[in-house]
Amino acid sequence: MIKPHGSDELNPLFVYNTEKRHALVAEAESLPSLLLNSAAAANAVMLGGGYFNPLTGYMNKADAMSVADSLHTTSGLFWPVPVVNLTRESGVEAGSRIALRDPNVEGNPVLAVMDVEAVEEVSDDEIRSMAEKIFRTLDENHPGVATFTDLGNTLLSGPIQVLNFSYFQTDFPDTFRTAVEIRNEIKEHGWDKVVAFQTRNPMHRAHEELCRMAMEDLGTDGILIHMLLGKLKPGDIPADVRDASIRKMVEVYFPPNTVMVTGYGFDMLYAGPREAVLHAVFRQNCGCSHLIVGRDHAGVGDYYGGFDAQTIFDEEVPAGALELEIYRADHTAYSKKLDKVVMMKDAPDHSKEDFVLLSGTAVREMLGRGEAPPPEFSRPEVAKILSDYYQSLDS
């Protein structure tokens, strides 16, 4: 199986030893507490699950700025997005040991214990500089920019020990998986080559066929459908609805034992190209050999060109920085001429009228009225689940 990023073995920061974990939970009750924001909490969950291998905790200011500028830490580790604990709280001192509390679970239980190596102030200009490099814009209407620039100016860095996986394990027991668990499951399947499909949306026919195309073209043993389970922007479909619709699609339309339906506990950044590279790091740490990178991968609005998330792998990812390879996908749609889903680049003799193309708004309106989109666009079983959700919003 492919090696994790940056090390020979995966080093998750979750404390698996039960005795040690119970001792840390008890110790945490007597430690000074910091209530995390959702972004820092999601980073802790990803560190705990091994997705951020080989990081040992939150980055300091020099590493965060270096990663934003050059996709490398000061020690030379390739990394695409700063992993930080920015806060508005003051009073934490370097050298202290603190309990990090979860903002997303009632009662704010302890999520991790942190040894604070440094407490550094980051100026508004430095925050904006990082944001501009990560998101390629400073437009406050960009959801990622709005979140990042509002986290705070105090940066706490140092190693952490993770004690639980927040609400993800309890709310999505059948779907949430750590990188450790996914690696183990891939081994159990006996798979060698695995392609990953990243999604924050339900999967329509085009997505379904894209997964098949990638499996066929690459000759993989299976596919990891890996959905984001954390915070999204307003209007995005909730994780439980996506989960149900994707599981139904796989159950009905894919051969048994060819697909793993899983999810991970992270808040969406909407960082386009940079987030596509971060997705590649996640999937290498999961044991996948390939990642599908499609049109406007991890994008939002019109902030990124359609294929910027592919060209970044040519222009900014150094050769050998990642062992995982990307599968470049064009926009896929159902061809009326060919009576199947194709990549639009593979049908140069087609006009727009030859494809079944529906805007997201049109699909939402149809589903809200209880109308099923054409079967060439969405499987009826998937449309039913989505329609029930949209109609429930109006009831």
Catalytic residues: 200-201
- Tokens for 319, please give them: 């050769």
**DSSP per position, 153-180:** SEEEEEEEEE---TTHHHH-TTTB--HH
Count Cβ atoms below 10 Å from residue 22 Cβ, excluding itself.
Answer: 12
Count Cβ atoms below 10 Å from residue 213 Cβ, excluding itself.
Answer: 18
Residues 6+ apart with CB under 8 A from 99: 28, 29, 31, 32, 33, 34, 110, 112, 113, 114
Quick one: angle between helices 239-253 and 380-394, nearest 10? 160
Would you call 316 exposed, middle or buried from its count of C-beta atoms within 10 A (0-12, 13-18, 19+)?
Answer: middle
Closest CA to 199 of 237, 161, 172, 165: 237
Closest CA to 208 of 324, 94, 334: 334
Distance CA 83, CA 94 (A): 18
Quick one: angle between helices 124-135 and 61-70, nearest 10? 40
